[in-house]
Amino acid sequence: MKIGILGGGQLGRMLALAGYPLGIGVRCYDPVSDSPARDVAELISGPYEDAGALARFLPGLDAVTYEFENVPAETVRLIEKTVPVYPAPRALEVGQDRLAEKEFFTALGIPTPRFQRVGSAGELEKAIGVTGLPAVLKTRRSGYDGKGQFRLLRREDATAAWQSMGGNPAILEEFVPFERELSVLAVRSRDGAAVCYPLIENVHRNGILSVSRAPYPDPLLQKTASEYAYRLMRELGYCGVFALELFHAGGRLLANEMAPRVHNSGHWSIEGADTSQFENHLRAVTGLPLGSTAARGFSGMVNIIGDHPPVERILALPGVHLHLYGKSPRPLRKLGHVTVTAGDSAGRDRLLATVRELLGA
């Protein structure tokens, strides 16, 4: 069995690693030839629009999936003519456009922050009247890890905010004074069976995920979040791992964004769940039975961002696991992550505090 993955970043690398024990081979496709998957998978390199390079990528693949949602939808539609693609391209198309995503949430009755389409400085003025202030202006496409965002505190910020979009279509959202950020990861098989991971609590720094803790034990919120994920996946005819990021505010859950792929907030599942998100994604797209998503104790994950970590000091701690992605340091670049696991939440939080201090996270 061989799976093709569009994108060869750390998510592709961890998918490839999860494939080994199951006898599932992986071939990644990435515009960058030294991307992190290179050490553990075949890697074909070329632009996403390069039909010749794609023709070298496809032979012998049983299915194609992705680990990066900004792959051009046309590329996926082209591949689909030869090899089955999971999840179906519609999930990619919705997830690539913040406006389409928020409209999709709304159409399915899933609460989301108030939002308005913004295509000009004049529309921004009007949109502020709907969302109120503070608000966040975001590019509709290609924004990730807080990039392409501008926080508006006062009406006078509107000109600078619109200029920062560089003429790109945008969306204005009300700023949500959330109590916490949560995410829910779910996995759906080819035949529609679906299961959710325990709810995850996330802390972002500069718009980038810094720390995750799981499970976040709140049965009512878990039920609501899982139901939202199931509803979205059902509507999309989804297959694979799906992530939904949520704001918990005033007792409600508001959908912030979805990701049609394995997700940074689920990295703890490698050691902290019966079946990791990576293994379950591969099981789903290859038509194998899904594995249990139950948590093994209490886990935490800290991203290693920008600088190499103090490896020896981290590995000297019991219950701690290090994952490096084979990348060279660069400011704000995700170089790896550390997972901690413990039998209770207090033990997990103590370990997590130590690791955060070592990493300056």
260 binds ligand AMP (CB under 6 A): no
- Rounded CA separation 17/358 (Å): 27
Residue placing its CB nearer to ligand AMP in the complex, 102 or 281: 102
- Using the rule CB under 6 A, which residue among 181, 201, 271, 279 binds ligand AMP? 181
Residue placing its CB nearer to ligand AMP in the complex, 57 or 115: 115
176 binds ligand AMP (CB under 6 A): yes
243 binds ligand AMP (CB under 6 A): no
Residue placing its CB nearer to ligand AMP in the complex, 256 or 269: 256
67 binds ligand AMP (CB under 6 A): no
36 binds ligand AMP (CB under 6 A): no
136 binds ligand AMP (CB under 6 A): yes
33, 60 contact by CB (below 8 A): no
204 binds ligand AMP (CB under 6 A): yes
217 binds ligand AMP (CB under 6 A): no
- Using the rule CB under 6 A, which residue among 146, 287, 306, 319 binds ligand AMP? 146
Nearest CA to 327 out of 66, 15, 39, 45 is that of: 39
Residue placing its CB nearer to ligand AMP in the complex, 29 or 150: 150
The alpha-helical segments, DSSP class H, found in the chain are 10-19, 51-57, 73-80, 89-96, 98-107, 121-131, 158-164, 219-236, 269-272, 277-285, 311-315, 345-359
* 290 burial via Cβ count (<10 Å: 0-12, 13-18, 19+): middle
- Rounded CA separation 256/113 (Å): 7
Residue placing its CB nearer to ligand AMP in the complex, 93 or 245: 245
Residue placing its CB nearer to ligand AMP in the complex, 77 or 204: 204
132 binds ligand AMP (CB under 6 A): no
Nearest CA to 5 out of 104, 86, 77 is that of: 86
Task: Report residue 354: phi and psi, to 5°.
Answer: -65, -45
Task: Report residue 233: phi and psi, to 5°.
Answer: -65, -40
- Rounded CA separation 318/136 (Å): 41
For ligand AMP, which stretch binds (CB under 6 A), given 174-182, 280-288, 309-317, 322-330? 174-182
Residue 206, both tokens? 């500069």
Residue numbers at the binding site for ligand AMP (CB under 6 A) = 113, 136, 143, 146, 173, 175-176, 181, 204, 207, 245, 256-257
